[in-house]
Structure 1
């Protein structure tokens, strides 16, 4: 019962995946969702029904959409470090934090975000050192 009380402090509590997607698509459209989330169900023959079907089967994609819903569409402040590791539906929104107007997003902004992420990934790859990549001796 205590868990039930905690989850009511989350905008995802009681919200079905189809309703969540409908809200996102009505506000942003499939093109913007694909640009920000890079999930193919928003690009190839997109529909609410096919997206729901895919997201129900694919946990990582569903969580990505739920995080987008919480922090872009509901425009909540960043999650605390304790809550970061939890799936979006299990996160507890602190008292006093209420959803705000949806973030204004553009395709140009999405491209800048992707470029920034690609640059970080490239930098991370450059600094990564592999230990024991070659055996000390060959048999």
Structure 2
């Protein structure tokens, strides 16, 4: 199965989140996507734990990353 049309192919959730934090910072990320792990004592580790369990939040983060890369 080919993934050539999938912009997230080969990109880990950790890499994606790290790039978003480097680009936007936690403050702006927390304003753009209203989830507590971005707003209150944010860290990559706690955010990854939440995003792996929470489909709707992961989808929003993935979409933001896709938009950033366009």
SS at match of 2:21: helix
TM (norm. structure 2) is 0.92
What are the superposed Cα offsets for residues 38-96 of structure 1, whole Å, 9 maximum, x if unpaired? 1111011100111000000000000010011112x113xxxxxxxxxxxxxxxxxxxxx
Does 2:19 correspond to 1:23? yes
**What pairs with 1:51-90 in structure 2 (closer than 5 Å)?**
51-71=47-67, 73-75=68-70
Give the greater-gyration-radius structure (CA): 1
The answer on 1:49 being equivalent to 2:68 is no
- The runs of 4+ residues in structure 1 deviating greater than 6 Å are none
The structure where helix makes up a greater share of residues is 2
Q: Output the CA distance in 1 between the equivalents of 2:42 and 2:35.
A: 11
For the aligned residue pairs, the C-alpha RMSD in angstroms reads 1.0
Q: What is the TM-score with the length of structure 1 in the denominator?
A: 0.48
Q: Which runs of 5+ in 1 are unaligned?
A: 76-139
- The number of residue pairs the alignment matches comes to 70
